[in-house]
Amino acid sequence: MTQVKKMKSIQGKTGIGFRKDFAEEFLNENILQPNFIEVAPENWIDMGGYWKRIFDKVTEQYPLTCHGLSLSIGSPDELDWDFLKKLKVFLKQYKVKIYSEHLSYAKCDNAHLYDLLPIPFRDDAVNHIIERIKTVQDFLEQKIAIENVSYYTAVAAEMDEPTFISNIVNGADCNLLLDVNNVYVNAFNHKYDAKEFIKKLPLDKVAYIHMAGHLQVEEDLIIDTHGKNIIDPVFDLFDYTTRLIKPVPVLLERDFNFPEFNELQGELNRLQKICNNVWTPQHAATN
């Protein structure tokens, strides 16, 4: 199974974020069957011992995508070249074709924060980030995908979010990781129409989709927790989105509060069904 599975394309297929929390169960049981897995490279680079063995085992069985946390593409700080060098080795070693990062910053004033802070939607930030993405892409010798993040306050914004994202993605000639749940969360938090928002994005650049659950913490605020099941309106928004773009890999993010594998597989199945409904005929026709 393993080698054949790894050779298959993951376009139009569903995968899951691989977590240490369920690693052993995942490898020992056959209940959860994603088409690929995703990890944060920061959590595995420099790792040895037990976890290295687990990681090598799972990456022998599944195609791997990487979703970074610490590149801090929107940071005022210099790029971390030591980290980038290690990242490049890691991506090559595990033959990672999709490497994505957040359109946010996680380091400032030479201090890591380990979370995703919102960038001011401004022209100078756009130009700054374009240059950084180009630099990173040149160095890694591959395109990266940039994710629209959820945010809980705009920060000194001088343009709207879709303009900010589009200008960066087009200017840097990078890919877009479209997090559909984040669009839903932001539409709720910042009171805009999610579908209209999606239509304004550079949809020809979408190379990857993320789906997740969230938590409403205040009457007027949702936090993107990855700790609950995907809700129906986000599935609906996903269905809407798939009709606007070419087939891409779709990832289910679940970071804690894990349900039984059957339940996770149920979510993957539901996502895959939508993918198949929308993409399979078109995909077959174009190949």
Which segment (10-18, 73-81, 195-203, 259-267) binds another protein by CB under 8 A? 73-81
Closest contact distance (angstroms) between CB of 128 and another protein is 4
- The answer to whether residues 215 and 230 touch, using CB atoms and an 8 Å cutoff, is no
Angle between helices 161-172 and 123-140 (to 10 degrees): 40
CA of residue 249 relative to chain centroid, distance: 10
Is 88 a residue that touches another protein (CB under 8 A)? no
Task: Give the Å distances, CA to CA, from 258 to 56, 105, 200, 253, 261.
Answer: 23, 27, 34, 11, 8
Site for another protein (CB under 8 A): which residue of 113, 140, 159, 203?
113
Closest contact distance (angstroms) between CB of 39 and another protein is 13
Which CB sits closer to another protein, 1 or 49?
49
Site for another protein (CB under 8 A): which residue of 7, 30, 48, 285?
48
Ranges within 123-152 binding another protein (CB under 8 A)? 124-125, 127-128, 131, 152
- From first CA to last CA, the distance across the chain in angstroms is 25
Size of the site for another protein (CB under 8 A): 48
Site for another protein (CB under 8 A): which residue of 6, 33, 83, 215?
83
Ranges within 160-199 binding another protein (CB under 8 A)? 189
CA distance 212 to 135: 30
Task: Give the Å distances, CA to CA, from 279 to 12, 195, 245.
Answer: 7, 19, 9
Site for another protein (CB under 8 A): which residue of 23, 32, 45, 140?
45
Is 24 a residue that touches another protein (CB under 8 A)? no
* DSSP states along 147-188: EPPP-SS--S-SS-HHHHHHHHHHHHT-EEEEEHHHHHHHHH
Site for another protein (CB under 8 A): which residue of 39, 66, 103, 119?
119
Rg (CA), the chain: 18
φ/ψ of residue 145, rounded to 5: -110, 135
The beta-carbon contacts of 53-62 under 8 Å, at least 24 apart in sequence, are 54/20, 54/23, 54/24, 54/27, 57/27, 58/18, 58/23, 58/26, 58/27, 59/94, 60/2, 60/6, 61/1, 61/2, 61/5, 61/6, 62/5, 62/6, 62/15, 62/18, 62/34, 62/35, 62/36, 62/37
Ranges within 214-253 binding another protein (CB under 8 A)? 217-218, 221, 223
Site for another protein (CB under 8 A): which residue of 32, 108, 203, 244?
108
Which segment (38-46, 168-176, 228-236, 263-271) binds another protein by CB under 8 A? 38-46
Site for another protein (CB under 8 A): which residue of 9, 29, 76, 280?
76
Site for another protein (CB under 8 A): which residue of 120, 171, 202, 227?
120
Closest contact distance (angstroms) between CB of 162 and another protein is 19
Is 49 a residue that touches another protein (CB under 8 A)? yes
Which CB sits closer to another protein, 21 or 204?
21
Q: Which residues bind another protein (CB under 8 A)?
A: 42-43, 45-53, 69-70, 74-76, 80, 83, 105, 107-115, 117-120, 122, 124-125, 127-128, 131, 152-156, 189, 217-218, 221, 223
